Amino acid sequence: MIEDALRGLFVALLGLGGGLAVGSGLVSLLIILDLIPRLAQLGGAYHKSVWFETAVIAGALFWTFADFMDWQLELAGPVALPLAGLFDGLFVGMLAAALTEVMNVLPILAKRISLSRHIAALVWAMVLGKTAGSLFDWLYYHW
């Protein structure tokens, strides 16, 4: 009986520690990359950046509870799946773009391979390649 209680306490502390580590890492990444303020600046809505921050926190809390409570969404697959994929892709794309911008990858790459005049074409090639690869993976391997 006591061993089961100690085991449960250990698992709870381990889960809490893992969640704190992952959450802290995500928050650190968002702060270091200035993702939310940059998104607000690009959207011309810097005065509404509190809404962006609140949306990120609310989304994290909602999906944490959904995972812990095993909530099930009964939505039509052909409607819900592409919408969820779109939002996931937008988030990952913005995170990758923010990381690329912070590290100044594109200017360095363009300078090294002498494509400074064609930086827009380089960006479009990356966007279209990522989109085509994601669609191929999603439509071919997952269906």
Q: Are 35 and 94 in contact (CB under 8 A)?
A: yes
Burial class (CB in 10 A: 0-12, 13-18, 19+), 138: middle
**94 contacts: CB under 8 Å, gap ≥ 6:** 35, 39
pLDDT at res. 39: 74
Quick check: 119 pLDDT over 80?
A: no
**pTM for this predicted structure:** 0.51
- Digit-coded pLDDT (tens) for 57-109: 888 888 888 888 888 777 766 777 788 788 888 878 877 777 776 667 667 77
Region 39-66: mean pLDDT is: 81
Residue 34: exposure state from Cβ atoms within 10 A (0-12, 13-18, ≥19): middle
Both tokens assigned to 16: 């809490």
